[in-house]
A and B are shown apart, each in its own frame.
Chain A
Amino acid sequence: MTDDAAYTPSPTVAKRRASKLWRFVIRDAGVVVALVLILIFFSIKAPYFATSGNFLKIFVQTAINTVLAAGMTFVILVGGIDLSVGSVLALCTVVGALIMTAEGWSPYQSVPLALFACAATGAVCGFLNGWISERWRIPSFIVTLGMLNVAHGAARVISDNSTITGLPQSFVDFGNLIIGGFMPSIFMIAILVVLVGWFVLRFTVFGRLIFAIGTNAEAVRLSGHNPPFYKIAAFTISGFTAGIAAIVYLLRLNVGSPIAGVGYELNAIAAVIIGGTSLNGGQGSIIGTLIGACILQVLSTGLQLLGVGDNFKPIVIGMVVVLAVILDTYRQRLLRRLDY
């Protein structure tokens, strides 16, 4: 009986390469495959679906949710949730629109100031979410539920409960810009946000700690780090992206409104989940989130083109979200098998 025979089956190189490919398909490309299948389905079934005009529309409509979901990914990775992003977005649109429409300033002064104010307002709200939940150890579900109401109320107070119109023409023009005939400016912004987020999560020490804390915060603390700092940072990022999403909203709809963004937080969470990020934290990717946001929008547009009524659409989308999570459990199981 030889000693180590049982534990060294030594798969051939080809076999190993195949298993690597499998790993990639299952772990990283699963959602892409789903998106492609959905695209093919609608291209065959729905009239006008596979037209450049329709794709442009999808790009434009998915931008806001993509930006919100990118920030949400950070929060969910550290094991939290941010229910306030929709309201924070509303507050930021009001703040931004008020500054842009203020009298006595040229657009060259007011627009940059408004952009900064949007981002800063969002970041401050996010920081408060994180700080309060860490300082008093309150679940982020509750703190951000509070912020949802506070930000909504603040938006109504500041705007005097009215819609703010009359943004500078140059700003509006930029929002309508389609770069190179296929890339709407606002989708470009969304892609930029995703790329920056992807870079941070994948290549920086900060990103590594975000994953590590989501996996086991206590082990990270005992390894000599301060997890609350990173958790607060994750919430601040989510608030910041809500501010960016508000800018995208202003570019697209050209109004600041205290009733903007109602329910957006749930779409953002859905995109993150469909994208394969675990609600328990520690596992997921922001590219997945981008694909998740695209799947949601493609479904919505495709169903509309198929003539599924507005009443039925949410039913289908709701089922898809749950289905995505069910499929994810099978994916996890497969991954574990491959990893033995």
Chain B
Amino acid sequence: MSEAGDPLLELHAVGKRFPGAVALSDVSLSINRGETHILLGENGAGKSTLIKLLAGVYAPDDGEIRFEGQPYRPSSPHGASAAGIRVVHQELNLMQHLSIAENLMLEKLPSKYGLVQRSKLRAKASALLEEVGLSVDPRLRVSALGIAQMQLVEIAKALGYESKLLILDEPTATLTPPEINRLFQIIKRLKAKGVTIIYISHRLHEIFEIGDRVTVLRNGRLMLTRALEGFAIEDIVRTMVGRRMENQLVFREDVALGDELLRVRNLKRNNRAPEVSFDVRRGEIVGVAGLVGSGRTETVRAIFGADPKAGGEVWLSGHKAEVRSPKMAVKSGLGLATEDRKEQGLLLDLSCEANITITDPQKVARVGLLDRTAEARFASDLFGKLRVKAKSTKQIIRHLSGGNQQKIVLAKWLFRGSDMLILDEPTRGVDVGAKHEIYELLWMLAAQGKGILMISSEIPELIGVCHRILVFSKGKIVGELARPEFDQEKILSLAFQEHIQ
């Protein structure tokens, strides 16, 4: 930890406790001026707490933080950004209905006599956008942008405040490979300009491209800080989880395929969208690859009846199923774990139990009366099966980590006993250990004769887990690969197929 260089940020034996849990203890760390420092750890390891300390959301209980040699104790996020520390959170904080320019300059709109000076605003915004290589009209509303562009706007916003330390919290979680590339170019450019960056990611293969040094947290403690060069991925993972991980391959040869379970024929999301047809058999895990925005989510939502469809048929176990609403879909044995678990999957202010039984409350009720003992029994049974870590089955779900929340989303459909599970990005924002547990769970379900359709933007994950992979490009299925044909390059080039022509 004693590399040469002028430390910009120093943490001395910092600790933070919450009632009932120690989130960080005895963390000492120094971030050098101008470096890109990677922060790693499983969900619940203390990364978010550390960031929140730096961002002025929490104050440390023990230890001291020094920034530019001065004691650093911001009382609010505003204080942090005034001092020059800026966090780009995973959940973006943009005002959807304001223009890009207004978002960029929100905290110091150029004004005269209380009136906004539009031309000045636009000029300043354009300059910032140029810095992050985003060529859009700053007068556009933010809601018109894609998620990757919004991410860049957030970074541009951070630059606008002349941040000395920029903290990027999983910026690539929702980005596609070319977008990630672009982001990395920008990070490198910022670094060349001398901006210090703390970068958090779950995607281990990408950090080598930009990082200088790395710090690994585990269970609230600092495991190590070292140069990234020469640090093997396998060793990183071992440091993070405290045990050796097998690679992502969890494919099981011994699970036999059964009869056809789901048949989708000529499904059209709307009148302009292309038709989609595919099947899933019992015991089969079918992957869905494609770029963000390739129509994967929209297609499964149409199958599930969450959005109206313009045409096509859905068959389940050889019977044509009328699926005009999620209610009908669930009745006929479909389950959908949505991509956005906070907005569409979970009842954040209710207990884990209530979240699990919501798919079929009648199952834990007699003549309309809830049987709470039965509910608790089902929930704790599923907690055991899925290895959910929580204080109890009655804990409010908002306070669980991302991986555990995702497990509850799966538990909902296990509780319902749905035959055909559609999982949209089931491992997004989930740490390495929990990811592995989810894969194993999927295989356990397949072995029980359920069918699984799994959308993922992480191709290695699909290659490691699935029987077949469907590749979407601009709303069409452009390829279907069987296991022997799996190849990352091939899948990627298929995903881009419709964009190149």
Contact = CB atoms under 8 A, between A and B. Distances in A.
Interface string B17-29: 0111110010000
Contact of A6 (B22, B325, B349): B22
Which of B21, B44, B358, B416 has the most C-beta atoms of chain A within 10 angstroms of its own C-beta? B358
A3 B239 CA distance: 11
A205 B361 contact: yes
Given A5-B219, A224-B326, A339-B399, A283 B349 contact: yes
B370 interface: yes
A78 to B, nearest CB: 13
A204 B369 contact: yes
Interface stretch (A62-70, A176-184, A210-218): A210-218
B327 A225 contact: yes
B359 A224 contact: yes
A236 B358 CA distance: 23
A135 interface: no
Contacts of A209: 361
Which of A1, A205, A215, A283 has the most C-beta atoms of chain B within 10 angstroms of its own C-beta? A205
Given A203-B370, A340-B18, A7 B329 contact: no
B145 interface: no
A246 B410 CA distance: 48
B44 A205 contact: no
Nearest to A213: B347
Nearest to A206: B368
B350 A7 contact: no
A204 B361 CA distance: 10
A103 interface: no
B377 interface: no
A222 B348 contact: no
A310 interface: no
B20 A11 contact: yes
Interface string A177-214: 00000000000000000000000000111111101100
A316 B304 CA distance: 53
Contacts of B326: 221-225
Interface string B153-169: 00000000000000000
Which of A206, A208, A221 has the most C-beta atoms of chain B within 10 angstroms of its own C-beta? A208
A34 interface: no
Contact of A340 (B21, B218, B369, B370): B21
Interface in B135-155: none
Interface string A1-32: 10111110101000000010000000000000
Nearest to B358: A223
Interface string B340-363: 000111111110001000111110
Nearest to B336: A222
Contacts of B220: 6-7
B60 to A, nearest CB: 15
Contacts of B361: 205, 208-209
A203 B358 CA distance: 14
A223 B345 CA distance: 8
Interface residues of B, number: 46
A254 to B, nearest CB: 38
B395 interface: yes
B338 A9 contact: no
Given A6-B219, A211-B350, A215-B350, A222 B242 contact: no
A216 B369 contact: no
B122 interface: no
Which of A6, A205, A215, A225 has the most C-beta atoms of chain B within 10 angstroms of its own C-beta? A6
A337 B20 CA distance: 10
Contacts of A9: 20-22
B331 interface: yes
B129 to A, nearest CB: 33
Contact of B19 (A206, A282, A283, A340): A340
B282 interface: no
A323 B471 CA distance: 57
Contacts of A7: 21-22, 44, 219-220
A200 to B, nearest CB: 9
A225 B306 CA distance: 11
A226 interface: yes
A3 B240 CA distance: 11
A6 B329 contact: no
A205 B362 contact: yes
B19 A337 contact: yes
Q: Which 3 A-B pairs have the closest CB atoms?
A: A224-B330, A6-B220, A340-B18
Interface of A: 1, 3-7, 9, 11, 19, 203-209, 211-212, 215-216, 218-226, 282-283, 336-340
23 contacts: A1-B221, A3-B218, A7-B22, A7-B44, A7-B219, A7-B220, A11-B20, A19-B19, A203-B370, A204-B365, A205-B365, A206-B368, A212-B358, A219-B347, A219-B358, A221-B326, A222-B306, A224-B330, A226-B327, A282-B347, A282-B349, A339-B396, A340-B19
Interface of B: 18-22, 25, 44, 218-221, 223, 242, 304, 306, 325-327, 329-331, 336, 338, 343-350, 354, 358-362, 365, 368-370, 395-396, 399, 412, 416
Given A6-B221, A204-B368, A218-B344, 14 more contacts: A4-B219, A7-B22, A204-B369, A212-B347, A216-B346, A219-B346, A219-B358, A222-B338, A223-B412, A224-B416, A225-B327, A226-B325, A340-B18, A340-B399
